[in-house]
Amino acid sequence: MRITLVLALIFVSHVVLAQTKGGGTIGIEIGPNASTIRGQDIERDEVNPMMGMLAGMAFSYKFSDRTSIKTGIYYESKGTKLEDQLVDENGTNLGTHELTHKFKYINIPLMLRYEGQKDTKFFINAGPYFAFLFEKTIEASDIPNTGDVKIDDSDRYKSGEFGIAVGIGVSTRLGKNLLLSFEIRDNYGLTNVAFDDHIHSINLNSLNFLPGISYSF
């Protein structure tokens, strides 16, 4: 319900601003990401990247020919893979296996964007993002005598995350009002998403590859 309300407010405010001032865009962006974790006592060689995705609706409002504010609401999956002890929900130790720690968020960025003035133009955008956790799981495949395992441990992690999003890309016009874009965006998490009783501090990092199409007015 809260997410629906946020999306409605973003959409209404975007349309009002675009109609009264400099114009803007509404579009869809979807693409894969490579993500991992970092934190105190976590060694780089202990963790491996996980492939996830970022997908959602994007909105922008232009202040001038070169500058705009960009926001949106996205589904984001990210996490890491590592060798660790697997314990099921009943407390049974299932041995050491490659585990996928998968976080699923609703992600809302608020970025300032600077771009060129040609029909095909490069751009850069940067700003904070706010993310809301709706599921965290540990997953493993082909466990002897058990098969595939998926354990929900969302209650061990904080419900919110804050970070910095920085992206570079290129966009081109497909017609008078349609724009095609491609962006490489790094979401660098600043929040320790683990509660204090966790053995490590955990920060998330995802590198996103985002093709998109938008309508400008």
Nearest 5°: the CA angle 105, 164, 57 is 50
Residue 31's CATH number: 2.40.160.20
Model confidence at 42: pLDDT above 50? yes
pTM tops 0.95? no
pLDDT in tens, 58-111: 999 998 889 999 999 999 999 998 877 666 666 666 667 778 999 999 999 999
The residue-averaged pLDDT of 12-29 equals: 66
Range of the domain at 141: 2-216
162/204 Cα distance (integer angstroms): 10
CB 65 within 8 A of CB 118: no
Is 60 exceeded by the pLDDT of residue 56?
yes
Residues 158-204: tens digit of each pLDDT: 999 999 999 999 999 998 899 999 999 999 999 999 887 666 788 99
Domains of the chain: total: 1
Alpha carbon 159 to its chain's center: 15
Quick one: pLDDT at residue 92?
Answer: 66
